[in-house]
Amino acid sequence: MSSPGRHEGALAELPADPAGLARVIQGLLLHEHWAPSYGVTLSDERRAQSHIRPLAEMLDRLVGEDGRPLAEARELDHRLVGICRHFALFLAAALRAHGVPARARCGFGAYFIPRQFEDHWVCEYWNAAERRWILADAQIDAHQRSLLNIDFDSLDVPRDRFIIAGDAWAQCRRGDADAGAFGIFHMRGLWFISGNVVRDYAALNHMEMLPWDAWGAMLAPDATATADQLALLDRLAALAQSSDAAHAELRALYERDDGVRVPATVFNAVRLRPEDVVVS
């Protein structure tokens, strides 16, 4: 999903630093649910852009409508509409184009609603100088920072402000956190966290799906999980938490388990219909 396809050269021409890339991305994308706060009313046609999965198709849409270099910001009415996942995917691919290891991560942000952990995606990249993975939220521009009263560097998000899905699952399973605080809108609980565990696991295998794509091992809303289901999700969470050290096992489980691997068709829970998965 994060392959830029024919646009790889265009990404390599962008700034190499996360801050510079975030500014570029913010000038190209518009978050669907934040649009009203920028004074933008979205048509149904523009809202549909949030369902684009491959980055290559996102870039096709952008340059197809405006052939200027990607470094040149588009007006609000001409930005591609997406959600947090699209910002994270774009930043991860752009960093990779400059030789920086990066990946999109699915989890929960603690900086949107007080005492709540909202469904969210960020980019995680390797800082070679500091020898650590850094969480960077390319979605948060000056406008959102002001409205949210964010008091930290959104390009170095503290690990207690963005909780990767596997960490959230483990905390709730241990009883260290309330599963009812994790989710979005009225959809909250351990079943919701399970969906993000599977999506994050897929993202670590370069299948960064939409936040509302559902398949296989994800628990159904308010369902009573079986012991086998819980054991599998425990394992997925643990492997995602140690994804570097356990990379070979992480890949092997993904390839062999039909409930974990992204199938040819997933259920789009927003459009309430099955959709074929097309990769770059």
User: What is the reported pLDDT for 60?
Assistant: 97
Location of structure tokens 């978050």: 31
| Residues spanned by the domain of 61 | 5-274
Q: Has residue 279 been placed in a domain?
A: no
Asked, for residue 66, whether it belongs to a domain, the answer is yes
Res 156: pLDDT:
98
pLDDT of residue 207: 98
- 201 falls within a domain: yes
Are 91 and 102 in contact, with CB atoms under 8 Å apart?
yes
> In angstroms, rounded to a whole number, what is the distance separating the alpha carbons of residues 79 and 30?
6
Residue 22 lies in a domain: yes
User: Does 119 fall in a domain?
Assistant: yes
280 occurs within a structural domain: no
Going residue by residue through the chain (280 aa), what tens digit of pLDDT does each one get?
A: 999 999 999 999 999 999 999 999 999 999 999 999 999 999 999 999 999 999 999 999 999 999 999 999 999 999 999 999 999 999 999 999 999 999 999 999 999 999 999 999 999 999 999 999 999 999 999 999 999 999 999 999 999 999 999 999 999 999 999 999 999 999 999 999 999 999 999 999 999 999 999 999 999 997 899 999 999 999 999 999 999 999 999 999 999 999 999 999 999 999 999 999 998 6
Query: What pLDDT, on a 0 to 100 scale, did the predictor assign at position 140?
Result: 98
SS3 265: strand
- Residue 175 belongs to a domain: yes
> How many domains would you assign to the chain?
1
d(CA 183, CA 153): 23
**Residue 132 exposure: Cα atoms within 13 Å on the Cβ side:** 8
Tokens representing residue 95 in the block: 């960093």
